[in-house]
Chains A and B, each alone.
Chain A
Amino acid sequence: MTQKQTKANRENAKQSTGPKTRPGKSRSSQNSIKHGLNQALDLEYDNRFIILLRLVKEDGYSHDEAYSVISAILDHRRVMEVCYEQYHAPKEVFGQGEVMMIRELESDHESGRRTLSYNDRLTIGRFKARTKRTNERLGSVLVQRVRRLGKLIRYQRRSIAQIRRITQTI
């Protein structure tokens, strides 16, 4: 796709009034979901739930007891799986594409294929400084990882408390 076509597509998209069909609306409703831990747990199509429910009932627990304890454990699993994903998420880097583009421009300038004006070089210098500042603020992989996981502590607290509460009552 050419740059012109991309630009035209973006301009056309601005005229859009959003999704019309039900599947479209359903898809776009998932756009801003970060981890989905505030959503209700959907156990209906969870194979693990069905198997665990059967196994726990075989141990002599009633249907209600088994249902509540397995849902609590699976809710905790959902939280821990998100934690695992967040732990292994790639490092967030600001301006990676732009920096590569700038490198190309500079090498072209050095080889004489392109001329960069004083203003161009000034803009590039400012952008590089901004990128460096932002990336320093974002921190290393470890720092980013710890910050992301820190946001999930409250969900772990909630799910564990639920397991404890249910196991005390059954």
Chain B
Amino acid sequence: MTEDKLKQSLAILDPIRTVELKDKTGSFEAILQGLLSDLETPNTLSVLLCEQISESIFWMRRHVEDKNLILLEATAEKIDKAQSGYGNERSYTAEDVKQALLGDETLKQKINDELKNTRASNPVATSFDGCRAKAFLACAKEVRIADDLIQRQMLNIRHLQRSLDAIDMKPRIIKRMDLELERIERDLTALEHDPEAD
């Protein structure tokens, strides 16, 4: 049943695709197919709206990843500045910071020890957590923008869902009204027949 709906929806998308993301991970397609298979009565408009919703979900995930990366990069940059002043070479990357945050105590201890040794000439911070706090402050503006972008995608999804509901509800209401009319007509004929039966 679900497979049929998906095939039907993909057939609608065949002549034209409005969203063309060069997404190598295939996550957009996965989201889209998931949404399309849940459609009750696929038609062009509902499929188009599903495409837009999938895109918004895709972008929301991207913005969340970017926000985390901004914080990790800023922390790595602060650690570097604290260690070597303003050198060009990076000793720690965002990936290292991520590992330390995910619980690599050895790496965290190593960074802390290195920062303690440079305490005299270090204008930034003397611990990993200190660098992280400074990084938060330094990129607060960008993080706020990233939050706004995530919020925007969430609102986009909500509005598109409402639109999809409105599109999807209309045929259902018409069908219900048809059934209602049919029932009234049946009742009416039944009433007309009553006196004859007497």
| A140 nearest CB across to chain B (Å) | 6
- Residues of B contacting A160 with CB < 8 Å? 155-156, 159-160
Within 8 Å of chain A (Cβ to Cβ): is B3?
no
Majority secondary structure of chain A interface residues (helix, strand, loop or mixed): helix
| A117 nearest CB across to chain B (Å) | 26
**Contact between B149 and A56 (Cβ–Cβ < 8 Å)?**
no
Within 8 Å of chain B (Cβ to Cβ): is A167?
yes
Majority secondary structure of chain B interface residues (helix, strand, loop or mixed): helix
Within 8 Å of chain A (Cβ to Cβ): is B18?
yes
**Contact between B16 and A139 (Cβ–Cβ < 8 Å)?**
no
Within 8 Å of chain A (Cβ to Cβ): is B95?
no
**Contact between A146 and B15 (Cβ–Cβ < 8 Å)?**
no
- Residues of A contacting B145 with CB < 8 Å? 146-147, 149-150
**Contact between A48 and B18 (Cβ–Cβ < 8 Å)?**
yes
Within 8 Å of chain A (Cβ to Cβ): is B178?
no
- Residues of B contacting A146 with CB < 8 Å? 66-67, 70, 142, 145-146, 149
Which stretch, B40-48, B105-113, B123-131, B181-189, touches the partner chain A?
Answer: B40-48
User: What mask results when residues 159 to 178 of chain B are scored 1 for a CB within 8 Å of chain A, else 0?
Assistant: 11011001100100000000
Given A56-B44, A156-B156, CB of A164 within 8 Å of CB of B162? yes
A69–B52 Cα gap in the complex (Å)?
Answer: 13
- Residues of B contacting A69 with CB < 8 Å? 45
| A108 nearest CB across to chain B (Å) | 22
A17–B146 Cα gap in the complex (Å)?
Answer: 44
A55–B16 Cα gap in the complex (Å)?
Answer: 10
A74–B45 Cα gap in the complex (Å)?
Answer: 12
Given A146-B66, A164-B162, CB of A59 within 8 Å of CB of B139? no
Within 8 Å of chain A (Cβ to Cβ): is B21?
yes
A160–B59 Cα gap in the complex (Å)?
Answer: 15
| B175 nearest CB across to chain A (Å) | 12
Within 8 Å of chain B (Cβ to Cβ): is A77?
yes
**Contact between A73 and B48 (Cβ–Cβ < 8 Å)?**
yes
**Contact between B18 and A73 (Cβ–Cβ < 8 Å)?**
yes
One of B21, B69, B70, B167 near A84 (C-beta < 8 A): B21
Within 8 Å of chain A (Cβ to Cβ): is B73?
yes
Within 8 Å of chain B (Cβ to Cβ): is A142?
yes
A153–B62 Cα gap in the complex (Å)?
Answer: 15
| B48 nearest CB across to chain A (Å) | 6
Within 8 Å of chain A (Cβ to Cβ): is B152?
yes
**Contact between A153 and B18 (Cβ–Cβ < 8 Å)?**
no
Within 8 Å of chain B (Cβ to Cβ): is A161?
yes
Within 8 Å of chain B (Cβ to Cβ): is A82?
no
User: What mask results when residues 8 to 47 of chain A are scored 1 for a CB within 8 Å of chain B, else 0?
Assistant: 0000000000000000000000000000000000000000
Q: A150-B145, A163-B49 are in contact. List 15 more A-B contacts (CB 8 A).
A: A48-B16, A52-B16, A52-B18, A52-B44, A55-B15, A69-B45, A77-B18, A132-B86, A143-B142, A157-B152, A163-B159, A164-B159, A164-B162, A167-B49, A168-B162
The 5 A-B pairs of least Cβ separation, nearest first, read A167-B163, A150-B145, A55-B44, A164-B159, A59-B43
